[in-house]
Amino acid sequence: MYTRSRSDVLFATARDCMPGGVSSPVRAYKAVGGSPVFIEQGAGAWIQDVDGNRYVDYVLSYGPLLVGHAHQEVVDAIQVAARKGTSFGACTEHESNLIRKIQSFMPLMERLRLVNSGTEAVMSALRLARAFTGRDKIIKCAGNYHGHADCLLVEAGSGVATLGLPNCPGIPKHVAEDTLVVPFNNLSAVEQAFEKHPGEIAAMIVEPVAGNMGVIPPADGYLNGLRQILTDQNALLIFDEVMTGFRVHPGGAQALYDVAPDLTTLGKVIGGGLPIGAYGGRDDIMTWIAPEGSVYQAGTLSGNPIAVQAGLATLNSGLNEWDYAASQAALLMNGLGAIASDKSVPMQVNGVGTMFSCFFTGAPVMDWDTASTSNVVFFAKVFRQLLIRGVHLAPSQYEAWFMSTVHDSEAIKHTLDAFDEALEVVLNDD
Ligand code: HOZ
């Protein structure tokens, strides 16, 4: 029997002292109704809330937990690192070990700089691209989300799309004007942007598999087409692989689709659940970063030894079992699709590797316009029915489901049974 009381009490307290009661907006459940569950602990594929309810977790901290919750090797690595000291603001051996590990899967990242979040990685990469090219404008895609830096909160996905806040106040007009927005999966829009602003565009940043308007794979030839256009225009191609890195393929989207970005941004999995980010790429570009070059970027906690060790342990363990996680994702996607189809519920399942989305729409989803045809009211109802049946999703149609290496057949069966029942209840209520 699903009951809650303590979560509600804690949320009331949190609302008194935090905007919306949360540390990040999507967590407030505004798009799905009700109030958030407060999590007590996690182990493997499962989490438990403060009222003792258990859930199979597909949020996985929005992606980082490739090996599930409280994985023994990750916990051990964190404990060993913490006993030696939590932060030094000085060089440690394992920074290079983590970077070497990343480079063994993403060799195009010839040199990297570690930072503290995906947002920071993206801000830094864009500053570098602007310095390197001597140009100010950038291109991004509608519905892509690259963190909350001013110049990128324009027609963004993730929480911005979820809460319907396309134009965030507080962003200087001249900053927003330097961001050109094009539809995802549309090469001619990129060509037109260059025609309209010749010699002014420093870079295009793109999620090579979109993950923040739900998961949307690139159309055939899209990434190659971008590579060609950006090369022709002497502008840089930046792959934001904060979400896709080690998730769509062990070598990220750049390996899966065999397209070479000039710069790449990372986060999430490389910290195994602790705060981290990284940016890197061509050596001749990265050499512009201080202290080698004059593009300044710094951070007291950058390369934090605990985050670095958690990331290393996650990559060491997770990449050995990556194929299993991807096969479990495929199993679940097929199962969900079959259940929806049996009940004549229009639903598109989009997924690549270990991340996927279910859109409640009859139309194929390939960009923001088609993603936003998804029935978000229906999603909210299904979300609530799944929650009380022990399945924890991100409280947004536009966030991805993530699979881990420890989601076993019991977790998948539990999810499929819950989905079947949830759809039945929602259809009967409608
Ligand atoms: N960074 C995540 C992007 N999908 C969202 C996490 C959040 O907004 O809390």
Per DSSP, the residues of 228-274 read HHHHHTT-EEEEE-TTTBTTTBTTHHHHHTT---SEEEEEGGGGTTS
Q: In degrees rounded to 5, what are phi and psi of residue 79?
A: -65, -45
- Ligand 1 contacts CB of residue 399 (under 6 A): yes
- Ligand 1 contacts CB of residue 328 (under 6 A): no
How far is it, in rounded angstroms, from Cα 43 to Cα 171?
Answer: 40
- Catalytic-labelled residue, pool 268, 367, 381, 420: 268
For residue 158, what pLDDT is reported? 79
Q: Which atom of ligand 1 is nearest to the CA of 24?
A: 9
Nearest CA to ligand 1 atom 1: 62
Give which of 68, 404, 141, 58 is closest to 247, Cα–Cα.
Answer: 404
Compute, in angstroms, the gap from residue 343 CA to the centroid of ligand 1.
Answer: 31
Would you call 196 a catalytic residue per the annotation?
A: no
Enumerate residue ranges in the chain where pLDDT < 70. 166
Nearest CA to ligand 1 atom 7: 24
- Ligand 1 contacts CB of residue 62 (under 6 A): yes
Q: Which atom of ligand 1 is nearest to the CA of 23?
A: 9
Compute, in angstroms, the gap from residue 175 CA to the centroid of ligand 1.
Answer: 23
Name the one residue in this structure whose structure tokens are 């929806």.
Answer: 340
- What angle is formed at CA 301 by the lines to CA 300 and CA 307, rounded to 5 degrees? 170
For residue 242, what pLDDT is reported? 98
Mutate to test the pocket of ligand 1, among 24, 144, 241 (most ligand atoms within 8 A of CB): 24
Give which of 270, 256, 152 is closest to 206, Cα–Cα.
Answer: 152
Compute, in angstroms, the gap from residue 232 CA to the centroid of ligand 1.
Answer: 33
Compute, in angstroms, the gap from residue 395 CA to the centroid of ligand 1.
Answer: 11
How far is CA 54 from each of CA 73, 109, 120, 215, 297, rounded to the nearest angstrom?
23, 40, 34, 26, 42
Contact predicate 77/263, CB 8 Å? no
Would you call 268 a catalytic residue per the annotation?
A: yes
Q: Which atom of ligand 1 is nearest to the CA of 212?
A: 4
Nearest CA to ligand 1 atom 2: 62
- Ligand 1 contacts CB of residue 26 (under 6 A): yes
Burial class of 409 by CB neighbour count within 10 A (0 to 12, 13 to 18, 19+): exposed
Q: Within 13 Å and on the Cβ side, how many CA atoms surround 109?
A: 28
Would you call 145 a catalytic residue per the annotation?
A: yes
Q: Supply 116's token pair.
A: 């503290």
pLDDT 10s digits, 104-148: 999 999 999 999 999 999 999 999 999 999 999 999 999 999 999
Q: Which atom of ligand 1 is nearest to the CA of 268?
A: 1
Q: Supply 282's token pair.
A: 């061509």
- Ligand 1 contacts CB of residue 212 (under 6 A): yes
For residue 239, what pLDDT is reported? 98
Compute, in angstroms, the gap from residue 188 CA to the centroid of ligand 1.
Answer: 29
How far is it, in rounded angstroms, from Cα 105 to Cα 11?
Answer: 41
For residue 339, what pLDDT is reported? 98
- Ligand 1 contacts CB of residue 396 (under 6 A): no
For residue 21, what pLDDT is reported? 97
- Catalytic-labelled residue, pool 29, 145, 257, 398: 145
The distance from CA 168 to its chain's CA centroid, rounded to whole angstroms, is 20
Q: Supply 385's token pair.
A: 């029915």
Mutate to test the pocket of ligand 1, among 18, 22, 26 (most ligand atoms within 8 A of CB): 26
Q: In what order do the strands lie in the sheet with 355-359?
A: 348-352, 355-359, 401-402
Contacts of 172 (CB under 8 A, 6+ apart): 150
Compute, in angstroms, the gap from residue 400 CA to the centroid of ligand 1.
Answer: 10
Q: Which atom of ligand 1 is nearest to the CA of 27?
A: 9
For residue 275, what pLDDT is reported? 98
Residues 384/388/392/394 CA torsion (nearest 10 deg): 20
> What mean pLDDT is reported for the chain?
97
For residue 217, what pLDDT is reported? 98
Count Cβ atoms below 10 Å from residue 166 Cβ, excluding itself: 13
